[in-house]
């Protein structure tokens, strides 16, 4: 085999190897993508790479029996093509990882680390956005304000770690109950706001009662200061308020829900009360409702 044949064979062999290496980042990207059109396109790309590898190996056998400098030029083009494919796959994988890191950091900045729901900062932004959208297009907008009954007693009798477990458990219940378009956020301490876009008052009251019943019937496993495992039962008082002509902004909607929630506390706790503008707040759920 002359020098030109050796060089061309080496270029094609290295090119096929580079293509094989490019399958690794392509496969990792496929594992991280959700099923859908983008994943299908990446599967198609991986199939093309496999075909290219087969084609390179065929060319390797063909060029080994040929002579002339033209085959070195063709082999060089094949080699550069393989380099290009590998570089694109590596850059794409790096971009996917960067996007995931950015998404993770963004989620951390808007999520309460204890309850696993949104934090106050995100709520304030979304509240004004949804209020403006509802006012502009005439969409219904309703807000729930939840407060854990006798939460101070939980911390005093069982310790703050037990209180944290209760908050975490309630956050999990809310995440499993509300829709993706809803915003469940920790408002402060043991208070939680659930913002319900495109939701009328009656439907919000039904959801609030479902949340109340779920929390009431949910056992919260905790460890007492003495090391004994017990199941703690908790209840919540919930105020419901819907946007109306009297609402000047999102803060007013929260204030209305807060009024209803305190009425629920006064009426014995563990109940849902709906705010009525100009009227007494009306109870819709609870032991005595």
Q: Which residues are tagged catalytic?
A: 190
> What is the sign, positive or negative, of the torsion defined by CA atoms of 283, 285, 288, 289?
positive
The enclosing H or E element of 230 equals strand 229-232
Pure H helices in 190-275 = 201-216, 250-266
Backbone angles phi, psi at 223, to 5 degrees: -110, 125
CB burial readout 195-210, b (16+ within 10 A) else e: bbbbbebeebbbbbbe
The tokens for 54 are: 């087969």
Q: How many residues does the chain have?
A: 289
CA gap 28, 5 in Å, rounded: 36
Pure H helices in the chain = 3-32, 37-63, 70-110, 120-137, 151-158, 160-177, 201-216, 250-266
């Amino acid at each position: 085999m002359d020098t030109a044949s050796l060089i061309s064979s080496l270029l094609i062999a290295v090119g096929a190897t580079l293509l094989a290496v490019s399958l690794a980042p392509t496969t990792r990207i496929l594992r991280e993508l959700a099923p859908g059109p983008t994943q299908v396109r990446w599967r198609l790309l991986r199939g093309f790479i496999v075909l290219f590898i087969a084609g390179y190996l065929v060319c390797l056998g063909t060029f080994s029996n040929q002579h002339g400098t033209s085959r070195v030029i063709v082999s060089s083009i094949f080699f550069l093509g393989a380099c290009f494919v590998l570089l694109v796959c590596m850059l794409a994988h790096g971009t996917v990882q960067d996007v995931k890191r950015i998404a993770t950091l963004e989620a951390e900045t808007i999520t309460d680390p204890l309850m696993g729901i949104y934090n106050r900062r995100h709520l304030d932004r979304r509240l004004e956005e949804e209020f403006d959208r509802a006012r502009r297009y005439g969409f219904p907008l309703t807000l729930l304000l939840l407060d854990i009954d006798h939460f101070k007693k939980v911390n005093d009798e069982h310790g703050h770690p037990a209180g944290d477990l209760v908050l975490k458990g309630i956050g999990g219940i809310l995440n499993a109950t509300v829709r993706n378009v809803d915003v469940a956020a920790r408002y402060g301490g043991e208070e939680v706001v659930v913002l319900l876009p495109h939701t009328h008052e009656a439907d919000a009251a039904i959801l609030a009662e479902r949340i109340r019943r779920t929390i009431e019937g949910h056992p919260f496993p905790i460890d007492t200061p003495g090391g004994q495992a017990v199941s703690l039962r908790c209840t919540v008082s919930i105020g419901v308020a819907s946007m109306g002509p009297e609402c000047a902004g999102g803060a007013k909607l929260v204030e209305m829900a807060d009024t209803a929630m305190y009425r629920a506390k006064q009426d014995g706790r563990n109940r849902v009360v709906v705010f009525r503008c100009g009227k007494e707040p009306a109870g819709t759920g609870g032991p005595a409702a």
